[in-house]
Amino acid sequence: MAPSLFNFRELRRRSKASFRTEHSVDTASDLGGSGATTTEGSLTPPSVSSTSDPSLPALLHDVKDTLSAPSTPRPPPTATPSLYRRSVASVNGLGYSPMNGGSVTPASPYAPKVTNVHENAWVYQKAMLVNGTIGDPSQQAIDGTLTVSRLDDGFPPITWPVCSSHFKALIYLQPGPNRIRFEFSNPKLSRQSSAAPHASYLTLHMLPPTNTPPLQLAILVAKDSPETFDAMPARAEREGNDLDLAIRKFRMAAYLWQAFTAEQMWRNKLGRRTFRFEEEWALGSSNYRDAELGTLRSEARVHVIRTDKTVEELRQLERAAHQCGDSAAGESDPLFDIAAEAAQNYFRPLPGQKQYVSVIVLDSHWDPEAKTVRAHTARGGSRGDLQLAMFGSHCLQSYPASFEEIAPAFTDCTPTDTQYVANEGNQAGTSWEAANLGIGAHLHSVGHLFGMPHQEVGIMQEDYLLLNRTFVAREAYSTRTKSKGGPVLPEDECKWHRLDCLRFRSHPCFKLPNDPVLHPDTSVQGFPVEGSQAVAMAATGISFLEIVAEGDEVCRAWIEYPVENNTPQRQVILNEQDLRSKLPGKPRKGGKLRVHVRSYGGGSLDIPDLKQMCSKASTLKLGGGKVAYRGKMITGPMRREGAGREKCEIVFMGDAKQNNRVLSRIMAYHGQSLDGLEFVYDDGSTQLFGAKPGGDGSRADVFEVDIRRGEYLTGFQLRVGSGPGIEGIQFLTSVGRKSPAYGSRQGGSPYMVIPPRGYDVVGVGGTYGEGIDGFSLIISK
Q: Could you tell me whether strands 144-150 and 176-185 are parallel, antiparallel, or unpaired per DSSP bridges?
A: antiparallel
DSSP state of 365: E
Name the least confident of 157-171, 464-478, 507-521, 581-595.
Answer: 581-595
Instruction: Tell me, yes or no, whether 448 and 547 share the same domain.
Output: no
The one-letter code for the residue type at 738 is K
- Give the pLDDT confidence score for residue 387 in this predicted structure: 96
CA dihedral sign of residues 533, 538, 543, 549: negative
**pLDDT tens readout for residues 651-685:** 766 554 456 788 899 999 988 888 899 999 988 88
> CA–CA separation, 172 vs 156, rounded Å?
10
Q: Could you tell me whether strands 557-560 and 542-549 are parallel, antiparallel, or unpaired per DSSP bridges?
A: antiparallel
Beta-bridged to residue 21, according to DSSP, are none
CATH (domain of 571): 2.60.40
- Based on DSSP, count helices (H) and strands (E) in the chain, helices before strands: 13, 40
Task: For residue 103, give every residue at least 6 positions away whose Cβ sits within 8 Å of its Cβ, in sequence order, or none.
Answer: 96, 97
**pLDDT tens readout for residues 338-367:** 999 999 999 999 887 899 999 999 999 999
Instruction: Tell me, yes or no, whether 556 and 698 share the same domain.
Output: no
pLDDT band at 224 (very low <50, low <70, confident <90, very high): very high
Instruction: Tell me, yes or no, whether 567 and 638 share the same domain.
Output: no
Mean pLDDT, residues 128-147 taken together: 94
Name the least confident of 69-78, 201-210, 315-324.
Answer: 69-78
Dmax of the chain from CA atoms? 121
Question: What are the start-end ranges of the H helices in 371-474?
Answer: 406-409, 431-449
Q: 26-57: b or e for each residue (b if 16 or more CB lie within 10 Å)?
A: bebbeeebeeebebebbbbbbbbeeebeeebe
In degrees rounded to 5, what are phi and psi of residue 233?
-55, -45
3-state SS, residue 496: coil
Per the structure, the complete domain to which residue 336 belongs is given by 215-505
Q: Is residue 439 part of a domain?
A: yes
> CA–CA separation, 399 vs 285, rounded Å?
14
Cα 500 off chain centre by: 9
Beta-bridged to residue 281, according to DSSP, are 298
Q: Which helix (DSSP H) or strand (DSSP E) does residue 395 occupy?
A: none
- Give the pLDDT confidence score for residue 392 in this predicted structure: 96
Q: Which stretches of 344-473 are assigned E, i.e. beta strand?
A: 355-361, 365-367, 372-374, 379-383, 386-392
> CA–CA separation, 163 vs 258, rounded Å?
24
- Taking the CA of residue 316 as centre, how many other CA atoms within 13 Å lie in the half-sphere pointing to its CB? 5
- Give the pLDDT confidence score for residue 743 in this predicted structure: 87
pLDDT band at 425 (very low <50, low <70, confident <90, very high): confident
Mean pLDDT, residues 697-706 taken together: 88
Does residue 84 surpass a pLDDT of 80?
no
Question: What are the start-end ranges of the H helices in 130-267?
Answer: 233-239, 243-267
Does residue 400 surpass a pLDDT of 60?
yes
> CA–CA separation, 548 vs 558, rounded Å?
9
**pLDDT tens readout for residues 615-640:** 988 888 887 778 899 999 998 765 54
Task: Find the helix packing angle between 431-449 and 243-267, rounded to 10°.
Answer: 70
Q: Are 46 and 39 in contact (CB under 8 A)?
A: yes
Q: Is residue 510 part of a domain?
A: no
- Give the pLDDT confidence score for residue 384 in this predicted structure: 86
Task: For residue 564, give every residue at least 6 positions away whose Cβ sits within 8 Å of its Cβ, in sequence order, or none.
Answer: none
DSSP state of 265: H
Instruction: Tell me, yes or no, whether 390 and 241 share the same domain.
Output: yes
The Cβ of residue 138 has, within 10 Å, a number of other Cβ atoms equal to 8
- Give the pLDDT confidence score for residue 618 in this predicted structure: 87
Q: Is residue 716 part of a domain?
A: yes
Instruction: Tell me, yes or no, whether 737 and 645 share the same domain.
Output: yes
From 156, 173, 207, the end of a domain falls on 207
Does residue 75 surpass a pLDDT of 50?
no
Q: Is residue 72 part of a domain?
A: no
3-state SS, residue 238: helix
CA distances (Å), origin 148, targets 2, 42, 116, 154, 401:
61, 16, 16, 12, 18
Does residue 70 surpass a pLDDT of 50?
no
Q: Is residue 723 part of a domain?
A: yes
**pLDDT tens readout for residues 245-291:** 999 999 999 999 999 999 999 999 999 999 999 999 999 999 999 99
Instruction: Tell me, yes or no, whether 24 and 171 share the same domain.
Output: yes
Mean pLDDT, residues 217-225 taken together: 97
Instruction: Tell me, yes or no, whether 570 and 547 share the same domain.
Output: yes
Q: 265-289: b or e for each residue (b if 16 or more CB lie within 10 Å)?
A: bbebebbbbbbbbeeeeeebbbbee
Task: For residue 444, give every residue at least 6 positions away whose Cβ sits within 8 Å of its Cβ, in sequence order, or none.
Answer: 324, 378, 380, 459, 460, 464
pTM: 0.83
**pLDDT tens readout for residues 406-419:** 999 999 999 999 99
Does residue 646 surpass a pLDDT of 90?
no
Instruction: Tell me, yes or no, whether 377 and 447 share the same domain.
Output: yes
Q: Are 83 and 222 in contact (CB under 8 A)?
A: no
Instruction: Tell me, yes or no, whether 780 and 636 share the same domain.
Output: yes
Mean pLDDT, residues 585-598 taken together: 85
- Give the pLDDT confidence score for residue 326 in this predicted structure: 53
Q: Are 750 and 766 in contact (CB under 8 A)?
A: no
Instruction: Tell me, yes or no, whether 696 and 677 share the same domain.
Output: yes
Q: Are 220 and 307 in contact (CB under 8 A)?
A: yes
3-state SS, residue 750: strand
Q: Is residue 619 part of a domain?
A: no
Instruction: Tell me, yes or no, whether 219 and 202 share the same domain.
Output: no
Q: Is residue 480 part of a domain?
A: yes
The Cβ of residue 762 has, within 10 Å, a number of other Cβ atoms equal to 24
Name the least confident of 82-96, 457-471, 568-582, 595-609.
Answer: 82-96
Q: Are 491 and 597 in contact (CB under 8 A)?
A: no
Count how many domains the chain has. 4
> CA–CA separation, 732 vs 735, rounded Å?
9
Q: Are 108 and 199 in contact (CB under 8 A)?
A: yes
Instruction: Tell me, yes or no, whether 183 and 234 share the same domain.
Output: no
**pLDDT tens readout for residues 231-244:** 999 999 999 999 99
pLDDT band at 195 (very low <50, low <70, confident <90, very high): low
Q: Is residue 558 part of a domain?
A: yes
Kindly list the strands in the beta sheet with 663-670, ordered across the sheet, starting from the edge strand earlier in the chain: 686-690, 674-681, 663-670, 699-704
The Cβ of residue 77 has, within 10 Å, a number of other Cβ atoms equal to 7
The Cβ of residue 663 has, within 10 Å, a number of other Cβ atoms equal to 18
From 172, 207, 242, the end of a domain falls on 207
Q: Which helix (DSSP H) or strand (DSSP E) does residue 639 occupy?
A: none
From 555, 586, 614, the end of a domain falls on 614
Cα 658 off chain centre by: 54
CA distances (Å), origin 650, targets 526, 639, 647:
19, 21, 10
CATH (domain of 671): 2.100.10.30
Name the least confident of 313-327, 434-448, 572-586.
Answer: 313-327
> CA–CA separation, 246 vs 243, rounded Å?
5
Does residue 46 surpass a pLDDT of 80?
no
